[in-house]
Chains A and B, each alone.
Chain A
């Protein structure tokens, strides 16, 4: 057996043992797995590599943290609730349109933070009561939130698995917006219509209004939406004009969050911000753990071994693994799936030729994101079930059809990548 394979098995073994048996958090398990790999690979405890891997995603981590603060503000200020009410009261006659708009609200925090957990815990938590109010059963509402948050995680502008995969092959994260929208929007629309539409024929507006909080919207009016608008303007302007002051994505989120403190309901910012960071830190820790894990895999040669082994298996095996093994790897970590499997798979597909690298990378990242539905970790799924007050299993059952459709869409686009390039 190759020494690289032994290292790899040691890393995965220690990781799984720590995570499943010892019930340690994913991040800590990744650290232990990395340590095991370094020791088996004859590197001892290579402090510099452990640290360097940990700090790989420091910029992304700062963006996620600042985006979470922004989400907290627009959630607590009442902007999201008002948006829900506007959508329901204006569009209840067109249930399909209404559902699609609610789905976009669920996706929004995932889009700007790249984290499905952020989407579930912020917008998901606010849209869930609305879905129940419309008459969608609990388990389906949970499934909608789980799928929606994953679509948000995969949708542009921020898709972390796509960044991880691109970073692994030295491909700039440019031009992903189109393919990612092509993948996520149809799947999101299908999922919410499939799960929700039949429950919201003949909606009774009076019953809806009595269940919605219409006060916030009336009290603050358009002012509530200023932070969201400011965010769009600043994000787009800073990418469109080089002369525009480059304050950076983090500061844009923080500035908009600051504006939000004055445009709606008053709340204790310090307390809510601490709470938001409590939910964010495990996500950041996972990114640090993944960085350390991959750094050690590369150092001991396990990463090269995986790529070369994939190359030898041939292209068909790689395509099959990309829609089976890769989402399944999400049970460990969807970020891990992107780096450990996504990168070599993309390399194999690029070397094979006849494909558009950006479209293929987008599809692979999309398939990785779906891993967040995989039990037992099932980050998105478990949180979504918690929000509607259920165990994950009944919610998971309703996720199956949308999940299969997403896989099919991802695979179809990937196999025809040149058509969509």
Chain B
């Protein structure tokens, strides 16, 4: 009898802690607000293009900027991997500042929305970080997990083959929750696949000409400051557009190279959407020191200021090839790099396709953004 009561007390204490912790976890479902921009035409949901998403935690906003003038259509994806913060912040900054003059721009800031509601175990990831705006107000952003929340899609199948033919087996099986492994998606597939299908269908339905998928990687990753390019029918033309973008960035003093999508990169956006839609596909990566296994204490300094002496040391000792900056790589510089890449890409595309030009303003140059900082780039929420 005494044992019995002891067990009940232990269970009740466990329950108390579980409830307290769950309040914290559930709070991650509240998404960031986006400041109004008078140039915004409309906000759609991705379920318009993928009905299977309706009512799920993965249905996500598509921000549409239509200039009303003829031209091309561009799609910008942020938050494919919710732990790669620069992707989401760049997308949100674009939505708050964009002014389109020719053509249309579609922006999805939380591509894997479910992934924003949890963090990756063992990584000690902070779930939020804050940025102080120029008017003194504070904006908070979530850091999520690169995979869909298991609460929304679980368990992972032992063996799964996506529409691209990528075989997810063994420990690659959790990748069944990775948006960037399941393109071009499946209308009634697993939840993550329905997100992929929504994007695939959006590209087809809206006649998207140019897509940018924004990512970040840890310094061990080989494709940093690199844009992946793929287009099946018109490979060389796509590459020459991307190369011209890279050249513009280099003239601004920014490292950037371009590479063709890997032969076996099945299921990744640049490969499988490139193979299966008419859009020119690009994917860009910046260096994010909070993602690697060498990172030190997890705090705002690491996420926002990108300050990581461990990686600088490892680079100096010859273990890391990526040229790690000594004073860190702040989020502002990473966002500036993504936005500059988008601007130059649209510009190069428009030069090559004058009838389908995509012309916009409002993002500013790299130096502008870095100098003003995120506090000025992002707008206050009323």
Contact = CB atoms under 8 A, between A and B. Distances in A.
Partners in one complex: yes
Interface of A: 3-4, 41, 47-53, 55-56, 59, 163, 166-169, 171-175, 238-242, 244, 246, 248-249, 291, 294-301, 303-305, 307-308, 311-312, 339, 343-344, 347-348, 351-352
B158 A246 contact: yes
B157 A304 contact: no
Interface string B86-114: 00000000000000000000000000000
14 contacts: A3-B297, A172-B172, A240-B159, A241-B159, A246-B157, A246-B158, A295-B123, A295-B124, A301-B298, A308-B294, A308-B313, A312-B317, A347-B293, A351-B319
B158 A174 contact: no
Contacts of A169: 293
A301 B293 contact: no
Nearest to A247: B158
Contacts of A239: 158-159, 169-170
B45 interface: no
B232 interface: no
A249 B319 CA distance: 38
Given A47-B21, A166-B171, A172-B172, A291 B160 contact: no
A304 B296 contact: yes
B161, B167, B293 — most chain A CB neighbours (10 Å): B293
Contacts of A312: 313, 317
B164 to A, nearest CB: 13
Interface residues of B, number: 37
B127 interface: yes
Nearest to B24: A48
A339 B293 CA distance: 12
B123 A174 contact: no
A51 B161 CA distance: 32
Interface in B308-349: 310, 313-314, 317, 319-320
Contacts of B121: 52-53, 55-56, 291, 295
B171 A4 contact: no
Nearest to B146: A170
B18 interface: yes
Nearest to A54: B121
Interface string B260-289: 000000000000000000000000000000
A4, A52, A238 — most chain B CB neighbours (10 Å): A52
B180 interface: no
B343 to A, nearest CB: 32
Nearest to B314: A311
Main secondary structure of the interface of B (DSSP, over half): loop
Contacts of A56: 121-122
A41 B159 CA distance: 41
A305 B160 contact: no
B68 interface: no
Given A4-B296, A167-B171, A242-B160, 11 more contacts: A47-B21, A47-B24, A51-B21, A238-B158, A242-B159, A244-B159, A246-B159, A248-B155, A303-B124, A304-B293, A311-B314
B159 A238 contact: yes
B297 A4 contact: yes
Contacts of B257: none
Nearest to B167: A242
B20, B158, B169, B320 — most chain A CB neighbours (10 Å): B158
A348 B157 CA distance: 32
Contacts of B122: 53, 56, 167-168, 291, 294-295, 298, 339
B127 A48 contact: yes
Contacts of B4: none
A366 to B, nearest CB: 18
Contact of A163 (B17, B167, B171): B171
A242 B189 CA distance: 14
A37 B202 CA distance: 48
B119 interface: yes
B121, B123, B160 — most chain A CB neighbours (10 Å): B121
B261 to A, nearest CB: 21
A174 B159 contact: no
A311 B317 contact: yes
Contacts of A299: 124, 297-298
A307 B170 contact: no
A48 B314 contact: no
A55 B18 CA distance: 12
B21 A48 contact: yes
A312 B317 CA distance: 8
A52 B310 CA distance: 25
